Amino acid sequence: MQHEEIPEDHNDPLLKHLHRAIRFAIRILAVLMVLVIFWSIADVVYVLYMRLSSPPYFLLDISDILQTFGAFMLVLIAVEIFTNIRLYLGSNILPVELVIGTALMAVARKVIVLDLKQVSSEQIIGIALVTFALGISYWLVRHSDKEHEEHK
């Protein structure tokens, strides 16, 4: 399932100019996202270095490992967001499946770094419901895309 935006060659001059302005703003977002990705990678390297270079040397406890996994997932989510931006700029089409997949990855990151001692049962149920809803949405989008391709 894809969402197509207003084409650049639209008849209305105001819409054409507004569309160009939005596309320029999205290009700025793409550049900023790349900077955030590199900054995040540098942060992961720095945090790992600090944790491994302090006593006990070259050892990480469970909390450190979970935080490291969370940091890695955050970088991967940023890469997925950049991919969403790049695909949008390249095709004027919002890749709904990729957006839902990115949201699923963000929820997975939250689950990985979740400290069960600090969250309520309502919050866990909420995360479960969001995960279920995103999973069903992802399946529906993939299923409808496959049916659409079969009917071509």
List per-residue pLDDT tens for the chain, 152 residues long: 444 555 666 688 888 888 888 889 989 999 999 999 999 999 999 989 998 998 888 888 888 888 888 888 899 999 989 988 888 787 767 788 888 999 999 998 888 888 888 999 999 999 999 999 999 999 999 888 777 677 66
Identity (one letter) of the amino acid at 145? D
DSSP lists the bridge partners of residue 94 as 3
Query: What backbone phi and psi angles, to 5 degrees, belong to 114?
Result: -65, 130
Q: What is the pLDDT of residue 1?
A: 44
Residue 89 has what pLDDT? Answer: 81
Cβ atoms of 66 and 113 closer than 8 Å: yes
Please tell me the predicted confidence (pLDDT) of residue 91. 76
The domain in which residue 86 lies consists of 2-150
E strand segments, the chain: 2-4, 93-95
Number of H helices and E strands in the chain, helices first, is 4, 2
Our count of domains for the chain comes to 1
Residue 4 backbone dihedrals phi, psi, to 5 degrees: -95, 135
